[in-house]
Amino acid sequence: MVTAAAAVLTLAAASAYAAPSRGRGIASSLSGSSSMSFGLALITADQKDLNSVIDHYGGTNPGLKNIGSGLEVFAEYAFRFDRSIYGLVFRPSYFMQSTDGKCGSGSCEYKLNGLTFFPMLRLTPLENDFIKFYMQAGVGYGNLKASVKQDSASGDFSGSAFGGMAGIGVNFCFTESHCMTIEGNVRYLPIERNTSDGVSGTFDPNTSGFSQFERGREVEYNGNDLSTTLSGIQGVLAYTMNF
């Protein structure tokens, strides 16, 4: 659904911008303004399979909490075409999510770290000197790595996938160059399969919650591929500099 929205916006931008740019040359068609943004985001990435592992292994000690929302830091470059509502956005981000505490007879730690990159099409239909309201959508890529520790056993696994993102945002510009940005996005980026990068010790299939966790093989929970995700509802707060 998010990917379809991105395709519709891209076709709309192409048809709207192609007509007035005929015969003007490449240099004139690419004129416009640029901006850089730096921000933080919270995302409701529900790691349901890992949380089921946590519940299975740490069930005797409810002091270990499930993995909650994730935190992202990102940078962004945006280019807006001259005399147009259309622009292009390129956004890389670094994702973090974790929980730790006592479980079973010892301690446990679950950490996830990942990278995403999303090119997006942005439309700015409403604006004045102070407020700029925009919509955006795009297709991107994400890679997620997890580190797990259960007592004396530890291991890493990772996976990657393509996905889509769409949302709306507002720039509150206090000067022509300096703005505060607030966004709400929906991202769809599930990672259905993860492969173990390394294991120390043994994850007992009867007690660990993992039915398979061996180096070089797919990680499994309850006899099925263990999935992770970079999907969720995302809230963004950022600083934007126009130039």
pLDDT in tens, 43-54: 999 999 999 999
Most confident of 23-27, 53-57, 152-156: 152-156
Report the CATH number at residue 69: 2.40.160.20
For range 85-96, the mean pLDDT: 98
Alpha-helical segments (H) within 110-231: none
Q: What is the pLDDT of residues 124-166, one digit of tens each?
A: 999 999 999 999 999 999 999 999 999 899 999 999 999 999 9
For range 15-24, the mean pLDDT: 44
Can you give the pLDDT at residue 2?
54
Asked if residues 234 and 26 have their Cβ atoms less than 8 Å apart, the reply is no
Compare 20 and 190 and report the one with higher pLDDT. 190
Compare 12 and 46 and report the one with higher pLDDT. 46
Residue 221 has pLDDT above 60, yes or no: yes
Can you give the pLDDT at residue 106?
80
Domain containing residue 153: 2-14+33-242
Q: Is residue 19 part of a domain?
A: no
Beta bridge partners of 236: 41, 183
pLDDT band at 1 (very low <50, low <70, confident <90, very high): low
Q: Is residue 55 part of a domain?
A: yes
Q: What is the pLDDT of residues 65-81, one digit of tens each?
A: 899 999 999 999 999 99
Integer-rounded Cα Rg, in Å, for the chain is 22
Q: Is residue 25 part of a domain?
A: no
Q: What is the pLDDT of residues 155-177, one digit of tens each?
A: 999 999 999 999 999 999 999 99
Chain length of the chain:
243
Q: Is residue 26 part of a domain?
A: no
Q: Which of 3-7, 22-26, 71-75, 99-103 has the lowest mean pLDDT?
A: 22-26
Per the structure, how many domains does the chain have?
1
Can you give the pLDDT at residue 102?
83
Q: Is residue 94 part of a domain?
A: yes
Q: Is residue 22 part of a domain?
A: no
For range 91-110, the mean pLDDT: 91
Q: Is residue 24 part of a domain?
A: no
Q: φ and ψ at 68, to 5 degrees?
A: -95, -150
Beta bridge partners of 103: 106
Q: Is residue 21 part of a domain?
A: no
Question: How many helices and strands in the chain, by DSSP H and E?
Answer: 3, 13
Helix/strand/coil for 177:
coil
**pTM of this structure:** 0.86
